[in-house]
Amino acid sequence: MTICVTGHSNPDTDSVTSAIAYAALLNAQGQEAKACMQIAVDKLNPESTTVLKRFGLKAPETMMDVAGMKVALVDFSDIGQAPANIASAEVVAIVDHHKIGDITTNQPILFRAEPVGCTGTVLNKMFKDAGVAIPKDIAGGMLAAILSDTVNFKSPTCTPDDKAAVAELKKVAGVEDTESLFMDMLRAKSSIDGISMKDLVFRDYKDFDMNGKKMGIGQLELAAIDQVAAIRADLVKALQEVKNEGRHSVLFMLTDVVKEGTELLVISDEPALIEAAYGGKIENGCMWVPGMMSRKKQTVPPLQKACGC
């Protein structure tokens, strides 16, 4: 049975390119695998679309339901971010760089998770460990994912391993100017042209169960926050709609890559809980959190602690 390699719902560039890379590695090792994603190709975020086009990569196959299938998970291990019917699928492997989630298996599997900035960094090591050369186009996708996830090394999630992987992958991919590549990706990621506000919220978004409270956290990385000044009111309305779909809180990170901080838009049943988590005061529905760049390392953990997780 073919292994479906898939990343999390609302896939980002790491999730997409890691599915492609791990499927390629499995195939090189004699296991039939295909790259999948939980979204239609025409709904893929602009950054990932730019990366796939730049390096000539084919988008993963859309796969929303994995009932009865063999599945390998990349860039997540939480049931809430998995395809439909994951409980009836056979999970055969997990490769990740986040906290260990709540997916369980009935038998031992390959589980590799490392405290690095990107799943692409873990996969770079796995290719080397297996003695398998990384194809040029796939190396380009992995390179782009690491630059994206580490915000060009500015994120606190960035490690020496991520920088070493970039140095190796750029040679394989034939990319000399990673700064230019990152800026092209940032321009695509921060584009708001022709997109509905709700789609913008869900472009880079994850739900979390925090002690029984459903918390949604989205992020938009920008060269400057005033890029969204004209749509701010409509964005807040969209966040309220998302909140009304049964969530305790919705947080939306407007991350200023240049200033290295985040304006956090907050809609919550307990604003005081959010203030306690980040040590600030919500004014007019938002708070500025200096130094906040990473949802994984700087936004989720303090909120989990405040919720008593």
The CATH number given to whatever domain includes residue 220 is 3.10.310.20
- Which run of H or E residues covers position 215? strand 213-222
- Asked if 37 and 178 sit in the same domain, the reply is yes
- Residue 192 pLDDT: 85
pLDDT class of 289 with cuts at 50, 70, 90: very high
CA distances from 73 to 192, 258, 294 (A): 30, 33, 22
Q: What is the chain's mean pLDDT, rounded?
A: 96
pLDDT class of 267 with cuts at 50, 70, 90: very high
Q: Which amino acid is at 212?
A: G
**Chain segment 78-115, per-residue pLDDT in tens:** 999 999 999 999 999 999 999 999 999 999 999 999 99
Mapped onto helix, strand or coil, the DSSP state of residue 65 is strand
Query: Residues 6 or more apart from 36 whose CB is under 8 A from it?
Result: 4, 5, 6, 19, 60, 61, 62, 63
CA distances from 197 to 208, 227, 236 (A): 21, 14, 9
Within 10 Å of residue 44's Cβ, how many Cβ atoms? 21
Boundary-marking domain end, from 153, 187, 221: 187
The owner of tokens 């964005």 is 235
Would the pTM count as exceeding 0.85? no
- Asked if 9 and 121 sit in the same domain, the reply is yes
- Asked if 114 and 136 sit in the same domain, the reply is yes
The verdict on residue 192 lying in a domain is: no
The verdict on residue 162 lying in a domain is: yes
The verdict on residue 32 lying in a domain is: yes
CA distances from 77 to 19, 91, 245, 305 (A): 14, 10, 24, 20
What residue numbers bound the domain in which 262 lies?
A: 197-306
- Asked if 255 and 286 sit in the same domain, the reply is yes
Phi and psi at residue 249, to the nearest 5°: -150, 150
- Asked if 128 and 227 sit in the same domain, the reply is no
**Chain segment 131-164, per-residue pLDDT in tens:** 999 999 999 999 999 999 999 999 999 999 999 9
- Asked if 155 and 227 sit in the same domain, the reply is no
Question: Residue 82 belongs to a domain with what CATH number?
Answer: 3.90.1640.10
The verdict on residue 138 lying in a domain is: yes
What tokens were used for 253? Answer: 């990170």
Give me the number of domains the chain comprises: 2
- Asked if 96 and 125 sit in the same domain, the reply is yes
**Chain segment 11-54, per-residue pLDDT in tens:** 999 999 999 999 999 999 999 999 999 999 999 999 999 999 99
List helix spans (H) across 36-159. Answer: 46-55, 119-130, 136-149
